[in-house]
Amino acid sequence: MGMNSKIKRFLFKYSLVPPHEWRTGATFLVALIVGLGFFLLKISNAPSYLSDDPQACVNCHIMTPQYITWRHSSHSEVAHCNDCHVPHNNLVNKYFFKAKDGLYHAAVFTARAEPQVIRALPPSIAVIQDNCIRCHQNQVTDAKTEAFVADHTKNRTDRTCWECHREVPHGRVRSLSSVGAQIEPIKEYSPSDLSIVPEWLKKSMKSSQEK
């Protein structure tokens, strides 16, 4: 028995094939759903979320304040969004957490229920705290005093780092209405030949060089 015959038997056995009179309509409906699915993947730039590119976070415009404040912080030189906001204990957990967070953000944005100031939820707080300690292990624990100061490590790690470092890396002013507009070109929406130098300036520079 060929593979096609086995598939047909399976479909008919579990009534997954509609009656003949409904088959055209059902085929059209399935094709419509699949087409809409691919359209949503395209318009939302869904593949970009599999990368570690920080600009993927501003595909959704409500993350603009977080992106701008990070871009102007010292962390932008050494860490991107995923370094802080997703787990790094294993690959499966990383992408599971990204998918869960992404679906939540998409639901909030679709429902237009985003708050004026975005705050991390408890699962995100735990991940961010772990990543702070992961990158700053030497600053969090001091080997010189570990041997004779009671509960030294616990005293430095039993509270969130941003209880003291409140403005790292997003600053204190970061609401939707207080940060301003995104002026850096977003690669997902920009042509490949985009240049931040205007044409009139290019011509002027070229003329100066020729003289």
pLDDT band at 173 (very low <50, low <70, confident <90, very high): low
Domain assignment of residue 169, yes or no: yes
At 64-78, the pLDDT tens digits run 788 888 888 889 889
Count of CB atoms situated within 10 Å of the CB of 132: 19
Mean of the per-residue pLDDT values of the chain? 80
Spatial distance between the Cα atoms of 70 and 64, rounded to a whole number of angstroms:
10
One domain for residues 13 and 66: no
Burial call 153-185: b when 16+ CB within 10 Å, e when fewer: eeeeeeeebbeeeeeebbbeebeeeebeebeee
Residues sharing a CB contact under 8 Å with residue 52, sequence separation 6 or more, in sequence order: 80, 81, 82, 83
Asked whether residue 48 is domain-assigned, the answer is: no
pTM: 0.68
What distance in Å separates the CA atoms of residue 96 and residue 98, rounded to the nearest whole number? 5
- Residues ≥6 apart with Cβ < 8 Å to 186: 55, 58, 59
101 & 21 share domain: no
pLDDT digits (tens, 9 = 90+) for 10-30: 766 666 677 777 778 888 888
pLDDT greater than 80 at residue 147? no
pLDDT at residue 1 tops 60: no
**Calpha distance 71→63 (Å, rounded):** 12
Using one digit for the tens of pLDDT, what is the confidence trace for 193-205?
777 677 888 888 8
pLDDT score for 40: 80
- The residues near 174 (Cβ < 8 Å, ≥ 6 apart) are 65, 66, 69, 117
pLDDT band at 115 (very low <50, low <70, confident <90, very high): confident
Tokens of 81: 């969004």
Question: 21 lies in which domain range?
Answer: 1-43
Tell me: do 193 and 166 sit in the same domain.
yes
Give the integer Cα–Cα distance in Å for 46 and 49: 6
User: What pLDDT sits at residue 64?
Assistant: 79
134 and 154 together in one domain: yes
Q: Do 105 and 141 reside in the same domain of the chain?
A: yes
